[in-house]
Structure 1
């Protein structure tokens, strides 16, 4: 494959090591391994290359580069640049490394465990590799820890600053950089335990910023999607909303697996549950069913817990992250960034996290980034790293939640149109909605689409004839251009008979006799066998301008071969009834815009939030403290009198309670009231050691029209040995009221 699967592009910044901060750097890795000599280049840069030993004794092939000698020469800010699947350490004279070195960073790059000279195919029998040097699929406790250990050695040498470390990479390397940022100042051990990240000699280490490119945040979803991801929920975990193991991306799983089998080192099947790549591939190759299969449950548990940044413990705010994914990347699409972004924003609303999406990523569908688009992304990435790693320049605009996009376009070599918003929720103020009308049937096993769209790019066309086995819906051709920006959403009632059934969705831009695939997705339906059940799922996000006269066509199919694997013979696909379908298309155009031919732009409809999920922060309206407030015309929250504990008694172990009420009126549908993590009661600058607890009863109530008085109880425990101060203890709380059903 192209550099998508092997080497990554993006920014760079490095590491280096020196015995003394005042001496020129001649060697690195001098404290805990065999030192590597550094060679001065014609331009004054220092290159150091060779093999070191990682924390468990496996060899790691590394390159370290430094800018020309400075005074003092040491404690450089460093950027780790990590390679893609099937790749190896990057050349220090290459574009990525030079981009960092010439801007005053050291550069560190390594070949990941199980590849090349770090226990790759040719080293499978090397005593240092046997039983441990194989590919762990970017495991936090193996590949990520390898990078942390090497960076720590450079910090012990005094050649890099342990608090000024950046990370970047694309694809597999993006998986490394996003995980490093999520861990930030912690190391995960193989058993899952988190400990402070320190160098081998005990220096505290931390990631200052990351810029991952076209990577995943949940590898289980990326390789075996099930439709649980929604771009407007706060915590879109793989099994949320009642979802189960999904549908294998057949073409990508096959391509990636064969590449690793040829050039890499896989653990023998069944020997290591944390790295059973062949076993996982064999399992998903069956096409299911997976319900009740312990191996499938174990696979999902392992991949989400140890190989996905989304599931890394978030008790520590992640490092500032600028996330970039590709609209037409069918392996790691834009929703992989959105999942992580929404989770971080929900818990840390002021954390620096931003997104920059464009048409790039994995070949072939997103294989060629245009020069103009790359230049725009490079500027943004440089500014991000310079500010958060080196402390140079100003904080990027809207760094705490902002989004920049460049649209897909034809030809792909052109420049995308740029849009900016303060958050993902604000990117598309309008919505075009299509009501599906009469019930239709997704016929099984159905006819495979005429073009699998596993090659070409977004400009590739195919004949626009409808697939007779699909449920098909069309948005009329407008007379004015409009721009899609976000995730096409499908709300529909599905009558699903088989637990192993799937719905493959495709969105086309139809221009007369030809059509282009502009978005796709898949749903493993919930409620199989329960009769007609309303559910919601999304296609991968897209930014695309629909030209006048073009029709948008949605197809729901029983198969999308060879992109998706069809259900196995043990439980073959059955036909699915579709009724009450509504297609919601987010657009940058303003609500109220008349696009002609009956196509109008509406205000976005209320989000359908599956049971157990909650709206992402940027979609929620809040009212704070004990004051009353009106939230919108159909949803209001009024707080009762402030709760007062009274006086606390020193020296007595006791539980104190206080109560108030909240009155909620909802005419929009079901509503839910929640409260933010309240933290500690405060008396001036003095804080009680145990956190204040808040209980809400009832936790939810239903509409469509309701007027509910909700009891809120506050609990504070005072221990017999707790120090107390006289005076009032207070805490401002934030209450969140949201609709959960339109």
Structure 2
């Protein structure tokens, strides 16, 4: 209906008409901008990024998502045509459907010689952050569209042409937006069914990433178009509820999570009956907003449901803070290679499936490890055990200096080193010095422990951090993770994945704290955690050496979760640094192993 329409501001770039042959049937690449962006934003609309695609024969679409820029952004709120132009927070029924609708219009459009402008079966989607999340929903839906009433239908152009996503390449994407913004710590990188509330629906609501969420809300409130009607997406109400903190109840927080799970997260649109498009995720190791375990959740599920679909990850230091743009060129080149193969049938099939470039904080150059599955990267494990353990109080936290430096908003540098102060009320473990040559931490540091909560478990929390300590005592944050524990029992949780070298004159330190405000919001409630039988497992790229590096221990899989299945032919992780021709050869071996 006209009354429900929203003006969308877009631009379309087309290849020059050929001297001979049809002017049309071009593959289409849609660039979707990030939060606080528009059709001209970096990652979503910079023409210098688009021109090489157009010159290679692609049609390129960039548009301002509803509620941003010329699509009813803050400057257009008084425009009568924008009475329904609210920001719906990457909703499958609105923003995602907008992309599908515009692509459908282009599929029905004819060029001057009467050829359809684009090929409706060769559509690629990419975008950074907010655009990456939408790209993930689009590839999960692939050939389906979600109507405004929530019903799901085949994706057809207005003239009735079947449409589909043929390839996707999200940057810095979420796959479960609720978990990204308020993690409960229950995600594990070795299971395939990482739903927010768990297989039985009993996991607690999580811990707000306060500094990030506050910043995102503020920029959107200033530059986007938030709904004032309770019948529209109440972003201000959601923010106020989450910022108020514990107790998060079935009446307050759960409806927010249920809505975001249902319509704003690509993981939950995966369907055993519908293959997603081949999808390449580019994620940053020290990205504190959408870390590497976000794409892993989606990849593991796709590997289980659709083992023949290429669901790939390139992890570098390119991402939200505390990551950076240092590896942007690597990431963008991988996306172009992806689209060339899947939309143009140019070149070799991209791969290997998992590529992990080690974070470089000393400009020494770092290797890239490749494997066919995530689990194959972690050939060894550093172990530390403490049967006695101790008490963690709700007030225990890092020093003010470490808090500021390691927060993504007030600090934002993944390579920052600080002088920290002793922690009271928490647990701190200094692991042994590495053997000669050091090792490479690669994966999700894991803690298994017997935890008893004195207080209300669903209002308690802990934060675990892995630090690199230099000879002069300065600390570098490698990984962190927040966890909402059960009332009692043996429990397992992980920090977000990292790839980093630990030199042999440094050592690792593990902290278990009561909070990390404002990076993770401090609970309103007081509690104590009695933690015993602590088993710290730090995955490394190196093989067991009968000294410090052990064979990875058997995983603890909580009830109802499904361990990621191993493939029949495993390709060990390979370091490509400095291998030249041999590195290229090994890449091809890894690709062939996956295809076979």
On the 8 A contact 1:445/1:575 being kept in 2, the answer is: no
Q: How does 1:88-103 map to 2 (within 5 A)?
A: 88-90=38-40, 94-103=47-56
2:32, 2:4 → 1: CA distance? 20
Whether 1:117 aligns to 2:70 is yes
Residue range with higher mean Cα deviation, 53-62 or 333-342: 53-62
Specify the alignment match of 2:380 in structure 1: 430
Specify the alignment match of 2:507 in structure 1: 551
1:566, 1:93 → 2: CA distance? 39
Distance 1:108 1:582, change over 3 A: same
1:479, 1:318 → 2: CA distance? 44
Distance 1:54 1:331, change over 3 A: farther
What is the CA distance between 1:262 and its match in structure 2?
0.3
Whether 1:586 aligns to 2:521 is no
Specify the alignment match of 1:397 in structure 2: 351
Query: Could you list the per-position Cα deviations for residues 456-493 of structure 1 after superposition, in whole angstroms to 9, with x for gaps in the alignment?
Result: 41210111443122111221111321001110011011
Q: State the SS of the aligned residue for 1:178.
A: helix
RMSD between aligned residues: 2.0
On the 8 A contact 1:81/1:90 being kept in 2, the answer is: no
Q: How does 1:6-17 map to 2 (within 5 A)?
A: none
Distance 1:196 1:414, change over 3 A: farther
Q: State the SS of the aligned residue for 1:128.
A: helix
1:267, 1:416 → 2: CA distance? 47
Whether 1:504 aligns to 2:463 is yes
2:227, 2:46 → 1: CA distance? 34
Runs of 4+ in 1 over 4 A off after TM superposition: 53-56, 619-622
2:52, 2:432 → 1: CA distance? 47
Query: Could you list the per-position Cα deviations for residues 702-728 of structure 1 after superposition, in whole angstroms to 9, with x for gaps in the alignment?
Result: xxxxxxxxxxxxxxxxxxxxxxxxxxx
Specify the alignment match of 2:100 in structure 1: 148
Query: Could you list the per-position Cα deviations for residues 499-548 of structure 1 after superposition, in whole angstroms to 9, with x for gaps in the alignment?
Result: 2000111110011320001100100012x2xxx41100100000001001
Q: State the SS of the aligned residue for 1:324.
A: strand
On the 8 A contact 2:318/2:331 being kept in 1, the answer is: no
Specify the alignment match of 1:308 in structure 2: 265
Specify the alignment match of 1:160 in structure 2: 118
Specify the alignment match of 2:590 in structure 1: none
Q: 1:255 aligns with which of 197, 212, 215?
A: 215
On the 8 A contact 1:464/1:510 being kept in 2, the answer is: no
1:621, 1:387 → 2: CA distance? 24
Bigger RCO (CA 8 Å, 6+ sep): 2
Structure 1: state its 5+ residue gaps: 1-52, 595-599, 623-742
Q: State the SS of the aligned residue for 1:496.
A: strand
On the 8 A contact 2:144/2:153 being kept in 1, the answer is: yes
1:523, 1:222 → 2: CA distance? 13
Query: Could you list the per-position Cα deviations for residues 356-398 of structure 1 after superposition, in whole angstroms to 9, with x for gaps in the alignment?
Result: 00112113x113x22xx33333332222111111122221234
Aligned length, in residue pairs: 546
Specify the alignment match of 2:360 in structure 1: 409
1:573, 1:360 → 2: CA distance? 38
Whether 1:376 aligns to 2:330 is yes
Query: Could you list the per-position Cα deviations for residues 153-203 of structure 1 after superposition, in whole angstroms to 9, with x for gaps in the alignment?
Result: 000012111011101111001011111111101101122211010111111
The structure with the greater share of residues assigned to strand is: 1
Specify the alignment match of 2:497 in structure 1: 541
Specify the alignment match of 1:709 in structure 2: none
Q: How does 1:58-457 map to 2 (within 5 A)?
A: 58-70=6-18, 71-90=21-40, 94-130=47-83, 132-157=84-109, 158-240=116-198, 242-268=202-228, 270-272=230-232, 275-291=233-249, 293-314=250-271, 315-363=273-321, 365-367=322-324, 369-370=325-326, 373-398=327-352, 402-411=353-362, 415-450=365-400, 451-452=402-403, 453-454=406-407, 455-457=411-413
2:448, 2:567 → 1: CA distance? 18
On the 8 A contact 2:394/2:460 being kept in 1, the answer is: no
Distance 1:313 1:409, change over 3 A: closer
Residue range with higher mean Cα deviation, 178-187 or 380-389: 380-389
What is the CA distance between 1:54 and its match in structure 2?
9.8
On the 8 A contact 2:439/2:501 being kept in 1, the answer is: yes
The structure with the greater share of residues assigned to helix is: 2
Whether 1:459 aligns to 2:415 is yes
What is the CA distance between 1:609 and its match in structure 2?
0.8
Structure 1 length-normalised TM: 0.71
On the 8 A contact 2:126/2:170 being kept in 1, the answer is: yes
Distance 1:448 1:78, change over 3 A: same
On the 8 A contact 1:54/1:149 being kept in 2, the answer is: no
Q: 1:613 aligns with which of 561, 579, 587?
A: 561
Distance 1:396 1:593, change over 3 A: farther
Q: How does 1:474-489 map to 2 (within 5 A)?
A: 474-480=430-436, 481-489=438-446
1:196, 1:95 → 2: CA distance? 35
What is the CA distance between 1:77 and its match in structure 2?
0.8
Specify the alignment match of 1:667 in structure 2: none
2:194, 2:82 → 1: CA distance? 37
Distance 1:82 1:521, change over 3 A: same
On the 8 A contact 1:77/1:390 being kept in 2, the answer is: yes
Distance 1:93 1:403, change over 3 A: closer
Q: How does 1:707-726 map to 2 (within 5 A)?
A: none
Whether 1:57 aligns to 2:5 is yes
What is the CA distance between 1:107 and its match in structure 2?
0.4
On the 8 A contact 1:115/1:121 being kept in 2, the answer is: yes
1:608, 1:620 → 2: CA distance? 22
Higher-Rg member (1/2): 1
What is the CA distance between 1:313 and its match in structure 2?
4.2
Q: 1:574 aligns with which of 509, 527, 536?
A: 527
